[in-house]
């Protein structure tokens, strides 16, 4: 086991005391690794644009060390021989540690990601602990089946048959920057419950809470090598991890573009793969809804986490008769929202993750104007040095427009009216994506008729972005392969083996 001095954080500075929680190393086989293949990569505070830390730029050599460590931990030693109840206890201990260090982790998340501190505390830390406890319970409930064989061959021979569920092996977990701590938990928890080992690659923009979480994994008592964290760029560290022959399964959350590349690479070696990808989720408002509730719901659907959510309600379809009222109400809310640091309790919209992403969102706003969209609110960057974009509402946007069809991943919503329920279904399903959708109505009959017709992995009614560890989450079409959460998720970290005994 490494000494405490090896895990010393970066020096505290008087002007930014949050730096006291930052780790500037990778964790491989339970030990800190400071060196990568090139110069360290800067990490920024999105609210100020200032550099707050540096991370190692891992290359193939560091990736290989991490995969080898995970392979050794999986193949032999205490983790391999640990009973399911032991894995359950360690996951529960990790959940306790997450809560005990919740203030530190939430502040670190807000500093590195820019999200509102309350969201970091309630969702990243609070929900993260809940997800760990939920998955801990599954560790002792992995079962096989007893089978009855129907073919008596050869005559006179009897058989007993059953199935075994075994861990898939070494998992490459690659996560995005929008919910860094929670996404790390989503990948680590089911893998550990199943008995796998993990090499986690956080996004290069937001490595800090993943590294701190890995330290807590060791503190909880997980053996070295069970969870390893490498940092670096996706095109180098991520690509080397995906291509490594020692990886048995790839679990990726991110863009559809990158997910397709990972899926192709996985097939070259028939690695197991799950992909939770992009979305362009419709918010469908029927003319019998509670208007105020629908307006507030539409605002939360798109502006939560600055619109940096894969299920963000970025397409708003409102039935004729309510269209003007709903869209104007949403625009008024957008115009009144306060931009600022996530540490400021008055802030309602924080910064986007990076200068590059801020420019990407602003480019889409320019495209939307050129395509004939009418800007009712926002449409501009925020003031100051941070990566802010004002919440933006486009009205009367053509269905074929790029801002209607392409994922922007920012606080930008496009609105259109519709007449009939058939029109609503046609517009909602006219997308390459199918991750989420929400219906806003007080007529249960109309809602129940619509739900089966919507191409989406999750359909919410009078709410949006509601997730639970027991509710499978994933997408239709180009929104991904596989599911997060629930029994469906656990099965993605297991191999099923059939056993047949003749006697």
Active-site residue set: 276
| Beta sheet of 26-28, edge-to-edge order | 31-33, 26-28, 227-229, 197-201, 170-174, 249-253, 272-276, 480-481
Q: Are strands 480-481 and 272-276 parallel, antiparallel or unpaired?
A: antiparallel
Q: Which residues contact 163 (CB under 8 A, 6 or more apart)?
A: 144, 145, 147, 496, 497, 498, 499
The candidate with the shortest Cα–Cα distance to 91, out of 499, 469, 498, is: 469
Instruction: Reduce the DSSP state of residue 27 to 3 states and report it.
Output: strand
Cβ neighbours around 4 below 10 Å, total: 7
The candidate with the shortest Cα–Cα distance to 6, out of 81, 26, 106, is: 26
* Rounded-to-integer distance, Cα 466 and Cα 195, Å: 29
Instruction: Output the six-digit token pair for 471.
Output: 């509710």
Q: Which residues contact 356 (CB under 8 A, 6 or more apart)?
A: none
The candidate with the shortest Cα–Cα distance to 213, out of 73, 97, 67, is: 97
* Rounded-to-integer distance, Cα 5 and Cα 23, Å: 12
Residue that has been written with the tokens 């297991």 in this structure: 494
Number of residues that this document lists for the chain: 503
* Rounded-to-integer distance, Cα 46 and Cα 386, Å: 6
Q: What angle do CA 111, 125, 490 make, to 5 degrees?
A: 125
* Rounded-to-integer distance, Cα 208 and Cα 231, Å: 10
| DSSP characters over 437-462 | EEEE-S-HHHHHHHGGGS--SEEEES
Per-residue three-class SS string for 205-250: CCCHHHHHHHHHHHHHCCCCCCEEECCCCHHHHHHHHHHCCCCCEE
Instruction: Reduce the DSSP state of residue 321 to 3 states and report it.
Output: coil
How many angstroms separate the Cα of 231 from the Cα of each of 66, 98, 261, 401, 440? 11, 21, 20, 37, 42
The radius of gyration of the chain from alpha carbons, rounded to an integer in Å, stands at 24
Cβ neighbours around 133 below 10 Å, total: 18
């Amino acid at each position: 086991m490494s000494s405490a001095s090896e895990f010393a954080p970066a020096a505290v500075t008087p002007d930014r005391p949050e730096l006291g929680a930052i780790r500037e190393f990778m964790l491989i086989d339970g030990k800190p690794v400071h060196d990568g293949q090139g110069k360290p990569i800067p990490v920024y505070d999105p609210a100020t644009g200032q550099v707050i830390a540096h991370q190692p730029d891992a290359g193939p050599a560091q990736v290989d060390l991490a995969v080898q460590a995970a392979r050794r931990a999986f193949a032999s030693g205490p983790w391999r021989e640990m009973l399911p109840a032991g894995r359950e206890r360690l996951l529960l201990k990790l959940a306790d540690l997450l809560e005990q260090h919740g203030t530190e982790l939430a502040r670190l998340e807000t500093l590195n990601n820019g999200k509102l501190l309350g969201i970091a505390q309630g969702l990243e830390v609070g929900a993260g602990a809940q997800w760990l406890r939920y998955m801990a319970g599954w560790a002792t409930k992995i079962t096989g089946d007893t089978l009855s064989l129907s073919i008596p061959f050869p005559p006179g021979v009897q058989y007993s048959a059953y199935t075994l569920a075994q861990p898939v092996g070494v998992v490459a977990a690659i996560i995005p920057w929008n919910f860094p701590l929670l996404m790390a938990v989503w990948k680590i928890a089911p893998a550990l419950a199943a008995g796998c080992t993990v090499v986690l690659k956080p996004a290069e923009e937001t490595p800090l809470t993943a590294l701190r979480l890995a330290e807590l994994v060791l503190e909880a008592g997980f053996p070295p090598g069970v969870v390893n964290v490498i940092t670096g760029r996706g095109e180098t560290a991520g690509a080397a991890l995906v291509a490594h022959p020692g990886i048995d399964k790839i679990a990726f959350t991110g863009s559809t573009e990158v997910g397709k590349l990972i899926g192709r690479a996985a097939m070259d070696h028939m690695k197991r793969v799950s992909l939770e990808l992009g979305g362009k989720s419709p918010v469908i408002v029927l003319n019998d809804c509670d208007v105020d509730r629908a307006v507030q719901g539409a605002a939360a659907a798109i502006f939560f986490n600055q619109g940096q959510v894969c299920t963000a309600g970025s397409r708003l379809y409102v039935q004729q008769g309510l269209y003007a009222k709903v869209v104007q109400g949403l625009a008024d809310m957008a115009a009144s929202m306060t931009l600022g640091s996530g540490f400021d309790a008055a802030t309602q919209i924080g910064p986007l993750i990076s200068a590059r992403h801020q420019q990407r969102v602003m480019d889409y706003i320019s495209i939307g104007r050129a395509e004939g969209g009418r800007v009712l609110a926002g449409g501009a960057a925020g003031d100051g040095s941070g990566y802010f974009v004002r919440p933006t509402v486009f009205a009367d946007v053509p269905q074929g427009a790029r801002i209607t069809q392409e994922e922007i991943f920012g606080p930008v919503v496009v609105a259109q009216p519709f007449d009939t329920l058939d029109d609503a279904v046609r517009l909602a399903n006219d997308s390459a994506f199918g991750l989420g959708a929400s219906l806003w109505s007080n007529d249960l009959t109309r809602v129940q008729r619509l739900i089966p017709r919507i191409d989406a992995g999750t359909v919410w009614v009078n709410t949006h972005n509601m997730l639970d560890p027991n509710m499978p989450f994933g997408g239709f079409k180009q929104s991904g392969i596989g599911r997060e959460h629930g029994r469906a998720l656990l099965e993605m970290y297991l191999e099923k083996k059939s056993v047949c005994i003749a006697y």
